[in-house]
Structure 1
Amino acid sequence: MASSLFLILCTSLIIFMPATNTRVQASVQFKVGGILGWHEPALNNTDFYSQWAERNRFQVGDALVFEYQNDSVLRVEELDYMTCDASNPITAFNNGKSTFNLDRPGNFYFISGTNDHCKNGQRLVVDVMHPHPILTSPPPISLPPEGFPPEGFPPMDPPPFDQSSDDSTSASVVLTATSSSVLVTFVSVMLLAP
């Protein structure tokens, strides 16, 4: 009996969970610059980091991993990024492997702290996408225009109510809740069922 109940519970969870507003999102760690890492690009490839950033989609919760040798990474304001000014960084890293968590949507600016590396193209701007809002309620229902139904058309009657069903053996539950409360309610109903 217990194993049958467990099987029903697991099967039902597999069916119920996708129907809820549960959003599972894994964070991604991006190695800045790919296999080449954080380095001063060649003179004919000064757009290297801009092109790398354009090929990726960054979301809140993701992380940038900078790997480098004899260099540093500075997170700076936009103006300092544009002018390659390393004198007032927001955050500075110089340990050879640095991880920066993208904790909000919007732009993040990074430059090398080594002289002239930024001017030679070792700078990066990352645009973190804004999360899509999750609707917590259905969209509003439009009311029919005044004077509806048109003349000559009688209003529709509501569907007939069937009172022949036996309320002691059948029940209907309408749930409007978050995924966790749906899960708790479902497990409770399953455990209380005869």
Structure 2
Amino acid sequence: MSENCCDTHAAGDHPSDSVTTASAGTDRTVRVARPEDAQAIAQIQRAALQTHIETTLTAKKATEQVESIIAALPETEAFHAHWAQTLSEPAPDGCHTLVAIHGQSVGGFICAIPGEELPEIPQKRAAIPAGTEIVALEVNAHFQRSGHGSRLLNALAETCKTANLRIWVGAEDEARVRFLQSAGFTPSGLRRHLQMPGAVADEHLWWTSLS
């Protein structure tokens, strides 16, 4: 699990603790994550990571690596311990962790940190001002297509009060690309390469202006 300022977040100490966004019905809301959400977030995150690995390596025709990589992933308990600590400590400025509520369950979550200014790419785009970088946006597989992803994005946009949102997306993640396009995101022109056993994962930075 990555080390970033989302690793220290307490709902009770966050200025946006009272943020709640409702839609479609009173059982579909978004609020700031609390320590008691740690187990649900951990389960969603580990399942999403496993799906990402399977999708990436299958697209790279490296399926023989999938089983061994997934077997090496930390168990859900490790993710739970991480989130239990994260959500019990004060959040640094500009860091946000929100959860989507589906009935009585956590249906998804979004975690974001400050994003630095991105320089101009000559003849392609102007510089992108400092904003908010989404480091995790995941929805429980059982609650997908319920609008939680859109609600989480909208709630973060209302909460962060910055010029833009940005997120790294795997080149093979066509479903996420379609979702981001529908939400108004466009490619920034930046890419990065992440080494995985048996393959290199390519990611592109997508962004949208909030001004």
As a proportion of its length, which structure holds more strand? 2
After TM superposition, the score normalised by the length of structure 2 is 0.22
State which structure, 1 or 2, has the greater radius of gyration over its C-alpha atoms: 1
More helix by share: 2
